[in-house]
Every structure is written in structure tokens, then in C-alpha cells.
């Protein structure tokens, strides 16, 4: 049994690795070969405990993500088990894994909905997830310009990203300017209210709202949703419980019968045609299937490369 730290996760996998592993896992979900256990939150006075799980027979694993939230700070752990004999295979510190999996799933949606011609990316936020999404969406894509909107650390983020991706232009921006220019908009914040006016979005924009997984918080407004020709989620059942961006919309704005699960699209194996000129919204909440799939990859790599893998117990 392996114990794997965040630093070791970063040595064992790349963002491209994560995208490949999660594309397989989502396809398995779409083919109904994977099972997802919804998130359960238990609230205490000063801390909350959340659990979510998944079974991925195609990779021979099942597991759970367990995490605490204290004063807005998260700490994650992922125990991974074999589906062949039930053995505990590994325990993985889940901070880095969460960073990879969330951004990788957004990149898979970006690819699945025909964003190959996108040139301008707008990022709301300057934290770990915002930076991970820049990495996932800029690498091996046609993105030429990234506009960063945030309440703090914007200039530092611009400078750091510019150093890392010399061929891409990074700029600090206002919400209005960024949305008006962007082909792709990613919201990676802890805002509980909409971050921009959806009327400013260009026709055909791809919007990924990934910051909130609570029914009482939203990052995008009713105008964005009403202009969307397609709304995509990872799990419809989970979205009906947690997606504040959708649940807080005015009556009639969201037609739940027309919401698409990303796994169903990936299982088809082709790029989904979007209604011409209409906005596509991807509302990400995070599902344990992604954590379990990446956990399997990390564990396999740790077993094959003990010099950079985790401790064996």
C-alpha cells in the first residue's frame, strides 16, 4: 500500500496525463460502466467534512475523496481500493490531484465542444484553480491571449504566467473588457453572486463555471444561462443538488430536461456540434470519478517508479 504526497503527485503525472485518464473515465461514465457516489457534507461548528466516491471497473479501482473545510481552507485525502479483491492500494494526499482533475475536465469539455478556433481566454480568479486552468487550456491549443480578472494578485499572476508561456500575451483586465473579448470564459472564484453581465458575451462563447459546488452560490447570471444553446454538467443528479449557478436561476431560465452530461458526449467519441452563435455553458462541480481515475494513474506510476513515488507501508 502506497502513501503519496502532493509533491509526489506533481512528479508522477502531467496535465496531459490527467486529461487522457479523465477522458477515459468520463467515457466509461457515459457508457454506464462507472458508478458515482454523490457528495455528502457534514457540518460542524468550525469545520465541515465532505465525502464522495466512485467505482471505475475499467481501471480496476474504487475509492473516495474525503476532505475537511476550515475557514475556507480545504484538505483532501483519497483512499483507493482494488475492485478485483477489495485491497487498499494507496492513500493519496488530494490537493494536487484536485488541481489537476478539475482543470483537466474543463479541457476535455473545451475540446469536446469544438473550441479549437478559440484565441482569447478570460480567467476570473488568481488562485490555484485559475492557474491550473490556464495551464490546461493554453497548452496544446490556439489560445494567444489571456485576460485575468481578480480582486487580488492579478499583476503577480500575469507576470508568472507570462514567464511560463512566452508565446501567449497575458493581461490584467476588467470583467466587462475580458468578457467582451473572450472566446472562452472560466470562472474560478468563491463568489456567491454573478461575476459579469452575460449580455457582454460574444456569440459562440464557451463558458466554464467551476468555482462553486454549493446550491447557495453562483458565478454566472440568468442572461448567460438564457443565451446558452447548451448547458453541460458532469453529473445531472449532482447538479440538481449542488449547482447554485443553475438552481438560483429564475423560473423558466434553465430547462433541466435539455442539460447534457459530459460523459455522454465523450462516450460518443466525436466533437459535439454546438448551435451556431449560441453560448455553451459547462457547469463543473467536481465528481469523485475524476479523483479515483487520477488516483489509479498516480498509484500505477508510483508502483512503477519507486524513486519518485510514495512510501510503501
Give the pLDDT confidence of 11-50 residue by residue, as tens digits.
Answer: 999 999 999 999 999 999 999 999 999 999 999 999 999 9
What's the pLDDT at 271?
66
For the segment 170-192, the average pLDDT, to the nearest whole number, is 97
For the segment 135-154, the average pLDDT, to the nearest whole number, is 96
As a whole-number percent, the residues of the chain with pLDDT over 70 amount to 95
Neighbours of 200 (CB within 10 A): 18
Q: Please give the grid coordinates belonging to residue 83.
A: 475492485
Let me know whether 46 and 161 are in one domain.
Answer: no
Let me know whether 151 and 87 are in one domain.
Answer: no
Let me know whether 6 and 89 are in one domain.
Answer: yes
Let me know whether 7 and 119 are in one domain.
Answer: no
Let me know whether 218 and 125 are in one domain.
Answer: yes
Look up the domain containing 267 and give its range.
114-283
Number of domains within the chain: 2
Question: Which CATH number fits the domain that encloses residue 296?
Answer: 3.30.1780.10
Does residue 105 sit within a domain? no
- What would the pLDDT profile of 74-130 be if each residue is shown by its tens digit? 999 999 999 999 999 999 999 999 999 999 999 999 999 878 899 999 999 999 999
Does residue 106 sit within a domain? no
* 276 pLDDT tier (thresholds 50, 70, 90): low
Let me know whether 277 and 148 are in one domain.
Answer: yes
Let me know whether 73 and 148 are in one domain.
Answer: no
Residues 6+ apart with CB under 8 A from 220: 187, 194, 195, 196, 198, 207, 209, 245, 281
Does residue 103 sit within a domain? no
Let me know whether 125 and 216 are in one domain.
Answer: yes
Does residue 75 sit within a domain? yes
Let me know whether 170 and 141 are in one domain.
Answer: yes
Let me know whether 264 and 300 are in one domain.
Answer: no
Are the beta carbons of 224 and 281 closer than 8 angstroms? yes
Let me know whether 134 and 208 are in one domain.
Answer: yes
Order the strands of the 145-149 sheet from edge to edge: 169-172, 145-149, 120-124, 184-187, 206-209, 279-283, 228-233, 260-261
- How would you classify the pairing of strands 61-70 and 73-82? antiparallel
Does residue 306 have a pLDDT over 70?
no
Let me know whether 25 and 118 are in one domain.
Answer: no
Are the beta carbons of 66 and 50 closer than 8 angstroms? yes
Amino acid at each position: 500500500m502506497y502513501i503519496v504526497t502532493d509533491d509526489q503527485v506533481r512528479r508522477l503525472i502531467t496535465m496531459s496525463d490527467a486529461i487522457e485518464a479523465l477522458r477515459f473515465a468520463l467515457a466509461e461514465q457515459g457508457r454506464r460502466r462507472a458508478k458515482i457516489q454523490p457528495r455528502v457534507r457534514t457540518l460542524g461548528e468550525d469545520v465541515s467534512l465532505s465525502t464522495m466516491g466512485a467505482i471505475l471497473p475499467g481501471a480496476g479501482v474504487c475509492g473516495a475523496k474525503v476532505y475537511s473545510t476550515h475557514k475556507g481552507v480545504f484538505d483532501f485525502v483519497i483512499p483507493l481500493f482494488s475492485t478485483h479483491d477489495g485491497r487498499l492500494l494507496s492513500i493519496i494526499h488530494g490537493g494536487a490531484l484536485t488541481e489537476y482533475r478539475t482543470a483537466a475536465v474543463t479541457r476535455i469539455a473545451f475540446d469536446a465542444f469544438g473550441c479549437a478556433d478559440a484565441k482569447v481566454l478570460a480567467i476570473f480568479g488568481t488562485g490555484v484553480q485559475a492557474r491550473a486552468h490556464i495551464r490546461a487550456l493554453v497548452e496544446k491549443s490556439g489560445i494567444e491571449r489571456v485576460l485575468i480578472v481578480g480582486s487580488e494578485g492579478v499583476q503577480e499572476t500575469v507576470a508568472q504566467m507570462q514567464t511560463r508561456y512566452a508565446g501567449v500575451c497575458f493581461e490584467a483586465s476588467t470583467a466587462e473588457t475580458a468578457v467582451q473579448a473572450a472566446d472562452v470564459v472560466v470562472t474560478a472564484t468563491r463568489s456567491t453572486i454573478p461575476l459579469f453581465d452575460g449580455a457582454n458575451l460574444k456569440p459562440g462563447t464557451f463558458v466554464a463555471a467551476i468555482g462553486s459546488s454549493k446550491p447557495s452560490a453562483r458565478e454566472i447570471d440568468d442572461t448567460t444561462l438564457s443565451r446558452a444553446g447548451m448547458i453541460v454538467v458532469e453529473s445531472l443528479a449532482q447538479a440538481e443538488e449542488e449547482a447554485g449557478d443553475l438552481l438560483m436561476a429564475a423560473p423558466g431560465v434553465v430547462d433541466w430536461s435539455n442539460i447534457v452530461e459530459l460523459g455522454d458526449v465523450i462516450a460518443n467519441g466525436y466533437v459535439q456540434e454546438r448551435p451556431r452563435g449560441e453560448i455553451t455553458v459547462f457547469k463543473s462541480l467536481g465528481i469523485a470519478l475524476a479523483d479515483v481515475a487520477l488516483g489509479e494513474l498516480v498509484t500505477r506510476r508510483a508502483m512503477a517508479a519507486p524513486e519518485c513515488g510514495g512510501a510503501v507501508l
